[in-house]
Amino acid sequence: MPGLLRGVARTAVVAGTATAVSNRVSRRQQGRWAAQQGYDAPAAQPAYQAAPPPPAAPDMTSKIEQLKQLGDLKEQGVLTQAEFEEQKRVILGS
């Protein structure tokens, strides 16, 4: 399970970084468009803002428990590899 948690954590960091970059680009574009139209860009906003922390994964404990149960069913021969992969995708939401 450490590999799964590492993957989830990495995804959260990448998503948080992408959101921060996207927001910064949007603010810069709005400032440029405002300047082109003769309006002053908002001076109160700092040039750089700290990225917000990635959102905590809701229900991660229950997801891990479900994945453990799936693994047990696969080891017992109840699930095939394809069924296991499909259920894993459903649980992880990807």
In Å, how far are 1, 18, 40, 51, 74 from 7, measured between CA atoms?
Answer: 10, 16, 43, 20, 21
Our separate counts of H helices and E strands in the chain read 3, 0
Q: Is 80 left (phi over 0), alpha (psi -120 to 50) or beta?
A: beta
pLDDT in tens, 54-92: 666 567 788 888 888 988 988 998 889 999 899 888 888
pLDDT, position 16: 74
pLDDT, position 9: 74
Q: Which amino acid is at 78?
A: V
pLDDT, position 41: 47
pLDDT, position 63: 84
Distance from C-alpha of 32 to C-alpha of 55, rounded to nearest angstrom: 30
Total-model pTM: 0.38
